[in-house]
Amino acid sequence: MKRLLGQLVVPALTLLVAGGAFANPEPWQLNMTPGVTATSQDVYQLHMLILWICVFIGIAVFGAMFYAMFKFRKSKGAVAARFSHNTTAEVIWTTIPILILLGMAYPATRTLVRMADTGNAELTVKITGYQWKWRYEYLGEDVKFMSSLARAADEARQLGSGIDPHSVENYLLDVDRPLVIPTGTKVRFVITADDVIHAWWVPSLGWKQDAIPGFINEAWTQVDEPGVYRGQCAELCGKDHGFMPIVVVAKPRAEFDAWLAGQKAAQMPAGAVAASAPTATSSGI
């Protein structure tokens, strides 16, 4: 029996509970994702720790209850006890929950404090939510752009489009211009909105932050693995709330720097481009 438990039941439970061990959402994913940042992994481990504590308490409490109901049932001649209180039991059932709560609150608070610390970031991106798209602005870099639902999905989603959504890759999860960030770098986000409340959420990063008009919320991330990480608006913000996905592309530092330089050049006014490239002009003279 013990072997059966070890070989079948425990791996099956682990598989069920850790079913979400992917960077991006999977069909039938039941659990949280461990994500791709130190923060998201801390959050995932806290979630698992607290889940197992709850499972253990649930089994113990319901086990004791069903045992008592079965063992001391009336048909077996059980007679109800008539004492009004028991100091020892009361001390035990007060102390144990306090210890459990402290054991959960300490690591949770430590993680929350770390998540709130946006200091020492190398790059700041301002995120603004709109009905129904996102705007990204690389502060101090003169690079800003809008990010909307990818054209293919937008066409397929129209009523009577005749396009099978299954034929569109990453349907409703792709954008025309993703947010690009460097890997191995602490990136700070300042998040707001320009019309109604939205929320910027990429599960792989381990947090979700409200985008509220008139407020600036902060968050940060440091992704170490290059990759594409998807998310969505997480605050019901109007009729197209389901059509403003988020795509974050994490690139190695050198690739990111080249991308940023390319964006800067593309967004500069025509005159400024000529002025910023004097070598080409001077060599021609």
Residues forming the site for Cu ion (CB under 5 A): 198, 233, 237
Task: CB nearer to Cu ion: give 181 or 244.
Answer: 244
If the CB atoms of residues 23 and 237 are measured against Cu ion, the closer one turns out to be 237
| CB nearer to Cu ion: pick between 104 and 212 | 212
Please write down the HEC assignment for all residues of the chain.
CHHHHHHHHHHHHHHHHCCCCCCCCCCCCCCCCCCCCHHHHHHHHHHHHHHHHHHHHHHHHHHHHHHHHHHCCHHHCCCCCCCCCCHHHHHHHHHHHHHHHHHHHHHHHHHHHHHHCCCCCCEEEEEEEECCEEEEEECCCCEEEEECECHHHHHHHCCCCCCCHHHCCCCCCCECCCEEEECCCCEEEEEEECCCCEEEEEHHHCEEEEECECCCEEEEECCCCCEEEEEEECCCCCCCHHHCCEEEEEECHHHHHHHHHHHHHHHCCHHHHHHCCHHHHHHHC
| Minimum CB–partner distance for residue 132 and Cu ion (Å) | 6
CB of 59 to Cu ion, least distance (A): 40
DSSP 197: -
In the complex, minimum distance from the CB of residue 244 to Cu ion, in angstroms, rounded to a whole number: 5
CB nearer Cu ion, residue 171 or residue 243: 243
Closer CB to Cu ion, residue 36 or residue 191? 191
Instruction: Report, in Å, the least distance between residue 237 CB and Cu ion.
Output: 3
Q: Closer CB to Cu ion, residue 133 or residue 251?
A: 133
Q: Which residues contact 235 (CB under 8 A, 6 or more apart)?
A: 197, 198, 199, 210, 211, 241
Q: Which of 101, 110, 141 is CA-nearest to residue 124?
A: 141
Q: Min. distance of Cβ 211 from Cu ion in angstroms?
A: 8
Is 198 or 230 the residue whose CB approaches Cu ion more closely? 198
How near is the Cβ of 7 to Cu ion at its closest, in Å? 47
